[in-house]
Amino acid sequence: MSALAKARRALAPLLSHLSTWMTPSELDSLLHAYIQPRLTTFRINTLKVPTCLLNIDSILQPIESALHAVKKRPQPRLNRCAWYRNAYIVSNPAVQVRHLAHVNPHKEGQIHFQSLSSMLTPLCLGAQPGWRVLDMCAAPGGKTAMIAESVGANGRIVANELDPARAKRLQKNIDTLLPPELRECVHVRVGDGRKLTLASAADTANSSSCDPFDAIMVDAPCSGEGIIQLSEPSSYRHWSFEWVKKHARLQQQLLSNAYSLLKPGGVLIYSTCTLSPEENEAVMEWFLDAHQDMEVTDLALPFLSAWSGRDANFRPGLTSYRGTSFRKVFQRALRVFPSVEYEGFFVCRMRRCPQY
């Protein structure tokens, strides 16, 4: 049986669900993305590497040497990401993180292995120096560290994680990626994001302040349809439409609490690594209906709108689904279609109106 036939059989319930709004051609492309290993990607951690060319070259040289030693064919090379100059892509999918994890730039936190799609959420957030930011579902910490690059030493980040084991990994990554003078600006807490209050956040971040947050990132738990790999049954074993609906309810609860913690004029960004509109546009529709003072804004990436027209994997959010109309403004959201380079992803940026 071919890999494609195995994928169709293993993922039959999911494909039946997706076929209600995807074209046959899109489903074929999706299956190929599920079958192929994804390219390894990483970013330069500018908190530890000043962004001058000389330093970047000194960081990349050990990685290129390690790629040569792997002896994969075709010879793997590093390609710079077209829309984020600090991100790099290893050209041969046979090269995995395990082949490069030993290099000193990784051990010292000068680079961080992270999917391109997951880099989008903190970039699209557009956090500014000095902001107080809540990362509501923070583990494993790559996005948190990117926020730290933006807010700097005068900012504050509360990195919340429900699972204690994942919170330990989050703390370890923060300790590796952030220089000592910035670590005290990031406060890891263990708890349910649905129950987080300003008082509990203040207790862990800055006991003198119970002020609402300037920005909140909700990279929500989801059904994971964008990160499925056929070679990893755990990535799709639990999928069912009930699984989708369960996550949608959880996402609504997380967003509702995030709203209560966001200051007027503040930014709320929502993302998932799944494809179903039930967890993306439909959740946004519900949230905006419930909170009339929230508005969808452009993503904080000035080049993204231009680039999305050149990359078939970057698409606007849906404005209709199975006979239901969504807000036209969801065209400002971003959908990323799964491929050998990208995990499937959804990002929507919102702002709470200062006066309503």
What are the tens digits of pLDDT across the range 290-315? 999 999 999 998 767 656 667 889 99
Average pLDDT, the chain: 93
For 41-114, the fitting CATH number among 3.40.50, 3.90.400, 3.30.70, 3.10.450 is 3.30.70
| 25 pLDDT higher than 70 | yes
Q: What value does the mean pLDDT take over residues 122-129?
A: 97
Nearest to 350 by CA among 304, 284, 302: 284
Which segments of the chain belong to CATH 3.40.50.150? 117-352
Residue 51 has a pLDDT of: 66
Q: Does 306 show up as a binding residue in the annotation?
A: no
Q: What value does the mean pLDDT take over residues 130-154?
A: 97
Whole-angstrom distance, CA of residue 223 vs CA of residue 243: 7
Place of tokens 């967003």: 255
pTM of the model: 0.95
Q: What value does the mean pLDDT take over residues 200-206?
A: 64
Residue 303 has a pLDDT of: 67
Which segments of the chain belong to CATH 3.30.70? 41-114
Per-residue model confidence as pLDDT tens digits over 314-348: 999 999 999 999 999 999 999 999 999 999 999 99
Q: How many residues does the chain have?
A: 356
| 70 pLDDT higher than 60 | yes
| 355 pLDDT higher than 80 | no
Q: Which two tokens stand for residue 22?
A: 């995807």
Note the Cα 10 to chain centre separation in Å: 26
The answer, yes or no, to whether the previous bond of 140 is cis (omega within 30 of 0) is yes
Per-residue model confidence as pLDDT tens digits over 218-252: 999 999 999 999 999 999 999 999 999 999 999 99
Residue 2 has a pLDDT of: 87
Q: Does 161 show up as a binding residue in the annotation?
A: yes
Sheet of 87-90, strand order = 78-80, 87-90, 41-44, 111-113
Q: Does 139 show up as a binding residue in the annotation?
A: yes
Residue spans of beta strands (DSSP E) within the chain? 41-44, 78-80, 87-90, 111-113, 132-135, 156-161, 186-190, 213-219, 262-272, 294-296, 314-316, 320-321, 324-325, 334-336, 345-352
Q: Does 28 show up as a binding residue in the annotation?
A: no
CATH topology of domain 117-352: Rossmann fold (3.40.50)
Q: What value does the mean pLDDT take over residues 65-83?
A: 91
Residue 205 has a pLDDT of: 47
Q: Does 192 show up as a binding residue in the annotation?
A: yes
Q: Does 211 show up as a binding residue in the annotation?
A: no
Nearest to 113 by CA among 92, 90, 91: 90
Q: Does 141 show up as a binding residue in the annotation?
A: yes
| 55 pLDDT higher than 80 | no
Catalogue the active-site residues. 273
pLDDT > 90 fraction of the chain, expressed in percent and rounded: 86
Q: Does 137 show up as a binding residue in the annotation?
A: yes
Q: What value does the mean pLDDT take over residues 178-205?
A: 89
| 203 pLDDT higher than 60 | no
For residue 52, what pLDDT band results from cuts at 50, 70 and 90?
Answer: low
